[in-house]
Amino acid sequence: MKDSTPARFIFNKNLDARFLDELFDGDAAYAQIVFEDFLRDLPDYWKDVETAYEKQDLNGIRTSIHKCKTLFGYVGFSDIQQLCQEFENSCSGKAIAALESGYQMLVNRKEEARDIIESEYDRLKIFNAADS
Amino acid sequence: MKITSIIVEDIKIAADFLKKFCDKSGLIEVKGHFENVAGALAYLDDDQVDLIFLDIEMPGATGFDLLDSLTYSPKIILTTSKTEYAFDAFQYNVSDYLKKPFTYNRFLESLQKIVKLVPQADPYPLAQAVGTVSPAPSPASMDMDFLFIKSEDKLVKLVKDDIFFIESMRDYVKFVTSVKNYVTYSTLKALEEKLNGSAFLKVHRSFIVNINKIDDIRGNTIYLKGNRIPIGKGHKDELARRLNIL
């Protein structure tokens, strides 16, 4: 007998799949839109982080990282969200030099995250095209 | 009637999720989305809404600046990705605090608080969404402050506020009111649905009471205008919640 249960998109293991399943509640089409928005918005948000970092503007770094943190949360990067939070906290009362290793770590994680979401976005497009 | 709202949020994904959840609930009408406090305040100068979904950290002014500038008191749900603001939120007496990102279920929990606070809100769509009500109560029974019952050969109008309690008598129920008692053919279950969302609460398998009329409670007994009503074991928690016990 053929299984008539609709297929469910399985998120990448690097993402908080349990949270994403609850957030999207099986709506893979909406997940595709959100992942697309993430890929569109992240470069702009990150540009603000870079600009503030170059200017050694601690308050600017803090507020721009805060925006990126929220964005990472909506695509299931709970761990990067936590890293952003720690970095945001460390912007208060520290010299810019003390932030360097944390900043570099975030840059690396941001690159990895973008690659993962690009790949997930492609998979979602295929999944949704097959489903329609 | 839907609860009117605006969203003040500078992150598009977050605002889009909120709009989607509002639409899905069937309870909230989003009148506008603003990416900063200035835009929201300009809108609120001309139009008042029941509820504001408010981010805290935004470019320029913060959500707390908006709260300081308000000239009336809409309900506020703060939406932020930082838990550190919880204490400030408490001081501003906001209705709820949603940590982003949040799921639809968490959003519904928040709405349940709002529905209780906004007088014109229709709680039925929310009750459906969270699965607490199955049959649809008639809109009239939710809004009116009276009901008609069949007693003897006529329909008698009972003002809800005059009812002390309702007692089950197998296939009949007895309304004990400030004026007199009436017996009519009905069940407590049917009445619970009719009185949903008002001051009435089932406290025992055989009794629904008007909580505004309770004089005091001793042990498992409610004392109400000279009557003693037992409190059923399974009804204690809900009674405590509704009575706002300190």
Give the residue extent of every domain in chain B.
3-130, 139-243
Query: Helix H segments across A55-99?
Result: 58-74, 78-90
| Structure-block tokens of residue A123 | 């998979």
Does residue B24 carry a pLDDT above 60?
Answer: yes
pLDDT of amino acid A122 = 97
**What's the rounded Cα separation, in Å, for the pair B140 and B144?**
6
Write out chain A residues lying below 8 Å of B101, CB-based.
19, 23, 70, 73-74
A43–chain B nearest CA distance, Å:
14
**B105 to A23: CB separation less than 8 angstroms, yes or no:** no
The most distant pair of C-alpha atoms in chain A lies apart, rounded to whole Å, by: 66
**A85 to B82: CB separation less than 8 angstroms, yes or no:** yes
**What's the rounded Cα separation, in Å, for the pair B18 and B103?**
10
Q: Is residue A15 part of a domain?
A: no
Q: Is residue A2 part of a domain?
A: no
**Predicted confidence band of residue B122 (pLDDT cuts 50, 70, 90):** low
Among A22, A34, A70, the residue with its CB nearest the CB of B81 is A70
Write out chain B residues lying below 8 Å of A22, CB-based.
103, 105
Among B82, B100, B103, the residue with its CB nearest the CB of A22 is B103
**Predicted confidence band of residue B141 (pLDDT cuts 50, 70, 90):** very low
B82 at the A interface (CB within 8 A)? yes
Give me the number of domains chain A comprises.
1
Output b/e per residue, B131-156; b: 16+ Cβ within 10 A. eebeeebeeebeeeeebebebeeeee
Does residue B183 carry a pLDDT above 70?
Answer: yes
Which among A68-82, A83-97, B83-97, B187-201 has the top mean pLDDT? A68-82
To probe the interface with B, which of A33, A70, A78 has the most B CB atoms within 10 Å?
A: A70
Q: Could you tell me the CATH number of the domain that includes residue A44?
A: 1.20.120
B11 at the A interface (CB within 8 A)? yes
To probe the interface with A, which of B10, B11, B17, B107 has the most A CB atoms within 10 Å?
A: B11
To the nearest whole number, what is the mean pLDDT of chain A? 91
Which among A43-47, B137-141, B177-181 has the top mean pLDDT? A43-47
To the nearest whole number, what is the mean pLDDT of chain B? 83
Please report, for residues A13, A23, A29, A97, the alpha-carbon distance to residue A18 in angstroms, rounded to integers and kept in the order given. Answer: 10, 9, 18, 37
CATH code reported for the domain at B3-130: 3.40.50.2300
Structural domain boundaries, residue A126: 25-131
**What's the rounded Cα separation, in Å, for the pair B195 and B191?**
6
Which H/E stretch holds residue B99? strand B96-99
pLDDT of amino acid A108 = 97
Write out chain B residues lying below 8 Å of A23, CB-based.
101, 103-104
pLDDT of amino acid B74 = 92
Tell me what the mean pLDDT of segment A108-117 comes to.
97
pLDDT of amino acid A130 = 86
Write out chain A residues lying below 8 Å of B105, CB-based.
22
B105 at the A interface (CB within 8 A)? yes
pLDDT of amino acid B139 = 40
Does the domain formed by B139-243 have CATH 2.40.50.1020? Answer: yes
* Residue A20: Cβ within 10 Å count: 22
What residue type is assigned to position B121 of the chain? A
Query: Closest chain B residue to A86 measured between Cα atoms?
Result: B82
pTM: 0.66
Q: Is residue A83 part of a domain?
A: yes
Q: Is residue A9 part of a domain?
A: no
Tell me what the mean pLDDT of segment A101-121 comes to.
96
Surface of B (28-67) touching A: CB under 8 A: 57, 59
- Find out whether A43 and A62 touch, Cβ atoms under 8 Å: no
B100 at the A interface (CB within 8 A)? yes
Among A22, A33, A70, the residue with its CB nearest the CB of B100 is A70
**What's the rounded Cα separation, in Å, for the pair B147 and B153?**
16
